[in-house]
Every structure is written in structure tokens, then in C-alpha cells.
Amino acid sequence: MPTHPPRPAPGLQDPFVNMAPPKASKKKELVFKLDCTTPVEDKVMQASALEDYLRGKIKVDNKCGNLGDLVRLASSKTHVTISSDLPISKKYLKYLTKKFLKKYGARDWVRVIAGNKDSYKVRRPPALAPPAARLAWRE
């Protein structure tokens, strides 16, 4: 025998009738940072070259280079900042950064390491660093 929810008493309203419609959530702007300090100082790569590569390779609506106003890139001497109104995964940016390093032959010398929730660090592992830099890693 199916059970139905009890009907409200006469004169009382159904509690779900006057509920407000769900509010549309505000879209958050996603901001990711790529810290390229070590390779730029070692003259392995330039942050502006990485920015240009990302500008041409990030896909919006399944088209490369179709950034429009939805995705913005900016670079300083040692950092690249990606701001997006669209959902872009952090892993996708890591993938593109690794492709950039492979294209220019730096993939064997440089690693892409998660810095925190919204950033990556592009740097050399301690084993590949010059002897003076290896000592700095131990401190």
C-alpha cells in the first residue's frame, strides 16, 4: 500500500508553495598564477613566451585562440597570470605548460609543481640544479 505525505489541515497552506525560487549563483572569476622565477633567472625560458603560447593554445568553445573577454592573460618578468570567467581546470594549464616546455626542449630540465590551490611553480628539481643551488634547497 503506497504511503502519501499527509495533507495539510484545511485552512493551512502547503509549506512548499511559497518558497522563493533558487537564486542564480554569481560566477566567480578564476585566477591562476604560473611562477616561472627559476627558469627565467637561469635564462631557460621567458614568461612572455609562455603567455603567447597559452594565448594561442587555450581552447574556448573548442577553438584554440578564441579567448575573447572570457579569458585574460597577463605576464610580468617572472609570472604569468590567467583570469577566466569560464571554468578552466588547473590541470589543463599544467598540461599546456608541459607542452610548452617540451616544444622548446626544456621539459627534461624543468618541472611544473603545484604551489598552492591556484598556482604552479615552474622550476628545476634539486638534482638538476648547479651545486650552489643544491645547498639552498637544503636550508
Tell me the DSSP string of 79-117. EEEEEESS---HHHHHHHHHHHHHHTT-TTT-EEEEEET
Q: Per the domain annotation, does 5 fall within a domain?
A: no
More confident residue, 14 or 51: 51
Q: Per the domain annotation, does 8 fall within a domain?
A: no
CATH of the domain at 112: 3.30.1360.210
- How far is residue 91's CA from residue 97's CA, in Å, rounded to a whole number? 10
Tally of domains within the chain: 1
Range of the domain at 94: 30-124
Q: How many residues does the chain have?
A: 139
Q: Per the domain annotation, does 77 fall within a domain?
A: yes
Mean pLDDT of 17-27: 65
Question: 5-18 pLDDT, tens per residue?
Answer: 766 666 666 555 55
Question: 86-137 pLDDT, tens per residue?
Answer: 899 999 999 999 999 999 888 888 899 998 999 999 988 777 665 554 444 4
Name the phi and psi angles at 93, rounded to 5.
Answer: -70, -35
Q: Per the domain annotation, does 55 fall within a domain?
A: yes
